[in-house]
Chain A
């Protein structure tokens, strides 16, 4: 029996102490004092109940910090679970799509997990912190699913979103900044590697990962070390143009990198009210993760059956759209008339200088039928829709591949 099946009730005193939370509906992250100090626009959104910046000063400057200098983005609100125990690997192999046995200690992979019907519950990154210790980072909350999946495994699953603060340092000068900040040996980190470094009297976990398709790192520390870590990076990065950024800039960068966001580009299975909104991995471009050779995992039978019976109904594609008007939530047509899908994210890419989008199409469109696709853009201009029918071409994702993302050691900018 897994130890996780036990009740996770909080002791009485802690329960009483936590009562006042209703007075603050949007929590501060451990970095909030620093972000508040830099925030000029008061432009916030709620990220899982945390007050998070859309933009601090200027979206464009923030975007170009990602691509030309270095950007610092607070990822503390990301949901984090620590998964630990002798059966941790077997447990994660049963839950997630990829083969966790192939994930060595000190490595990270991007993965996803499904329900019984093979519908994606979420995607996220899995950090193998040690042989029997992992961290799973994701968008949605899954504690009951993880606990129930732990039945029969010797593994503990602990939610640690509040306890662990996270920063994403992305951009061409990210490496140089970390080196400057004194993280000796950082140059050895290959993409998807992680390593531990000393920070004050504690440890910071640094992985060469990110959500931008650029050279970049993610840093995790206990919440109490958050501010000093921020300061250490900011000090080191001053000469290399480090800039705190908000989500708007990041969102543009992630789209250029061709990365998808749960409940923006696909509906997660535990939230979808409508039966036809859920998606299988093959339907959102995550089919590459599915490892049918590794033994059983959640959704395996359903996925194999759908592949065999060819019942996959959707496909996620990258589109390049003529012109420069972003096609956010535009309908995709075949031969200008037949509705075949919807754009879930779109932007003008300043990096690729192309008008790009991610769209979900109804097969066979996007799968075997890839020509003659169009998007209908309703561009609101001074209280009138300018209706544009633009040609769209399916292109591979990422929309732009940057060699600096993977070069090891990274170049010194």
Chain B
């Protein structure tokens, strides 16, 4: 039997961050990855001969600065240069594209002057409010049992101070809009449908909400509370795809002494006397450690790896009640040559192209997925990563990577027959905006949430490892009772996107979990 101080299950970015931080503080850490390569859902994979693409997330918009610093990612090959920062474009067949340039629209191109002014004021407000929430979204959630550490209490105090600092009227507006739906806020302040559509899309991306669902504004705050390369709200197209980011983290982990084993499928987390003491692999091999950390989905961790017999019924209930059915699909197209989106210039083609021409479009796309139907007129964000990084595609060819909503995890008619129909609906949408694109497709790879589940071991195919809605945030993430990375099982911790603050390639859950583990050892 091999023994380590800590075993980390899952070599996605959060697992790697957690392992690296633990190793840096002198722990002997073993990281186990079921797949043959690291990265989890943040990989760069070849999906057609010569065509490579970021497997799920394709843009980096919230890498925790402390992760970058602590793990010295720059030294390990992470390149975050301003020129990687890409704009967002909202496409419209009626009015042409609108561009949010710079860090989430420092500059708004293609809108009327009055709308630009309105946007400047709204953008400033959104960033101010996101700033208030930032301490909540970067630290361990507040401990309702009163066990907040000094640093945690300090960050709560920081949030309180940030709120007070807003001034009376701003604070009032903040408290009014915090749980509001995004559509109402946009309707109050903006008029341009393209801009509103884009913001609405961003607010609900990756969640089972429409822009008119109460609390949907939180999604936008979540996005804006992140920063990358020190720029809040920025988005980077990582050179080499998302896999490159993970490589840097993996490099840092290796340097810190983390032992990595791939193709090591954990079957069971071994529990003795109510405490985790190691893991048992699928082939029966037993590995011991005083601390076991799971970057896997929380429900899978507890219901499958731990098993209900070591858990209380109420806790199992809560785990089973986590809503984790994904609504987002991923499309990869191998194209003969780059597509031409109408009215979009060459810089724009390197950006994020959002097809969500109005709030109503997004809302209407959402409706069917409530009933297990896909949207016949889906909304999506499209990137063409090979334009910025030609290494991703053969010469002259092009990779298209798109995130598409809404595609319910459980399609009523079944994905077996539904997938081709959904792909046709997506292609029809793309064709509207980039005429002729269909003819250039050499290979299409559509990953429904059901596919994502299988391929990346994400139950429900939800890339946040559980809905990121108000009732599954903070102390309710993943469930109350395991909200602070430690769990009812002694020695067992969670460090994945299913934990606070949630998904995205941020490394925050991994970092916070590692800190919690170290704090509890003290």
Contact = CB atoms under 8 A, between A and B. Distances in A.
- Is A in direct contact with B (CB under 8 Å) within the complex? yes
Interface of A: 90, 94-95, 115-117, 145, 148-149, 151-153, 295-296, 298-301
B214 interface: no
A116 B312 contact: yes
Contact of B310 (A117, A149, A296): A296
Given A90-B309, A296-B274, A300-B274, A151 B314 contact: no
Given A90-B309, A116-B481, A296-B309, A301 B316 contact: no
B313 A152 contact: no
B482 to A, nearest CB: 12
B303 interface: yes
B437 to A, nearest CB: 45
Contacts of A301: 274, 312, 488
Among B271, B308, B313, B315, the one with the most A-chain Cβ atoms within 10 Å of its Cβ is: B313
Given A115-B313, A116-B315, A145-B313, A151 B274 contact: no
Contact of B307 (A95, A115, A152, A298): A152
Interface string B319-338: 01000000000000000000
A151 B308 CA distance: 7
Contact of A152 (B271, B309, B314, B488): B309
Contacts of B313: 94-95, 115-116, 145, 148-149, 298
Contacts, number: 49
14 contacts: A94-B313, A95-B313, A116-B314, A116-B315, A117-B314, A145-B313, A148-B320, A151-B303, A295-B309, A296-B271, A296-B274, A296-B310, A298-B312, A301-B488
A281 to B, nearest CB: 15
Contacts of B271: 296
B421 interface: no
A52 B145 CA distance: 45
B312 A148 contact: no
A115 B314 contact: yes
Contact of B316 (A117, A148, A299, A300): A148
A254 to B, nearest CB: 29
Contacts of A152: 303, 307-309, 316
Interface in B392-448: none
A151 B309 contact: no
B303 A148 contact: no
Interface in B68-86: none
Contacts of B309: 90, 94, 152-153, 295-296
A151 B320 contact: yes
A301 B487 CA distance: 12
Nearest to B316: A151
B317 interface: yes
Contacts of B317: 148
Contacts of B315: 116
A79 B203 CA distance: 50
Interface string B272-316: 001000000000000000000000000000010001111111111
A299 B307 contact: no
A299 B312 contact: yes
Top-9 shortest CB links A-B: A152-B308, A116-B314, A116-B312, A149-B313, A298-B312, A296-B310, A148-B317, A298-B313, A151-B308
Interface size band for B: 10 to 19
A152 B309 CA distance: 8
A94 B310 CA distance: 8
A149 B310 CA distance: 12
A296 B307 CA distance: 12
Nearest to A299: B312
Nearest to A304: B274
A386 B314 CA distance: 47
A318 to B, nearest CB: 31
Nearest to B271: A296
Contacts of B308: 94, 149, 151-153
B259 to A, nearest CB: 31
A12 B425 CA distance: 40
Given A149-B313, A298-B312, 4 more contacts: A115-B314, A152-B316, A295-B309, A296-B274
A116 B488 CA distance: 10
A116 B316 CA distance: 10
Contacts of A94: 308-309, 313
A295 B274 CA distance: 8
Nearest to B309: A94
Nearest to B304: A152
Contacts of B488: 116, 301
B489 to A, nearest CB: 9
Nearest to B312: A116
Nearest to A5: B320
Nearest to A118: B312
Contacts of A145: 313
A115 B312 CA distance: 7
Nearest to A300: B274
Nearest to B489: A301
Nearest to A269: B314
B152 to A, nearest CB: 22
Interface in B473-497: 481, 488
A326 B126 CA distance: 68
Nearest to A147: B313
A152 B314 CA distance: 14
A274 B183 CA distance: 39
B57 to A, nearest CB: 32
A295 B275 CA distance: 11
B318 to A, nearest CB: 9
Among B307, B312, B314, B481, the one with the most A-chain Cβ atoms within 10 Å of its Cβ is: B312
A68 B308 CA distance: 49
Nearest to A152: B308
B125 to A, nearest CB: 39
A116 B480 CA distance: 12
Contacts of A95: 313
B312 to A, nearest CB: 4
Contacts of B274: 296, 300-301
A407 B110 CA distance: 95
Contacts of A300: 274, 312
A153 B309 CA distance: 9
Contacts of B316: 148-149, 151-152
Among B311, B481, B488, the one with the most A-chain Cβ atoms within 10 Å of its Cβ is: B311
A95 to B, nearest CB: 7
Nearest to A113: B313
Among B271, B307, B308, the one with the most A-chain Cβ atoms within 10 Å of its Cβ is: B308
Contacts of A295: 309
B273 to A, nearest CB: 9
B85 to A, nearest CB: 47
A93 to B, nearest CB: 9
A90 B307 CA distance: 13
Among A115, A153, A301, the one with the most B-chain Cβ atoms within 10 Å of its Cβ is: A301
Nearest to B318: A116
A159 to B, nearest CB: 17
A90 B274 CA distance: 16
A117 B488 CA distance: 11
Nearest to A293: B273
Contacts of B312: 115-116, 298-301
A300 B310 CA distance: 10
A191 to B, nearest CB: 31
A270 to B, nearest CB: 11
Interface in B215-274: 271, 274
A305 to B, nearest CB: 10
B141 to A, nearest CB: 19
Contacts of A298: 312-314
Interface in B338-391: none
Nearest to A145: B313
Contacts of A149: 308, 313, 316
Among B311, B314, B315, the one with the most A-chain Cβ atoms within 10 Å of its Cβ is: B314
A145 B274 CA distance: 22
Contacts of A153: 308-309
A45 to B, nearest CB: 32
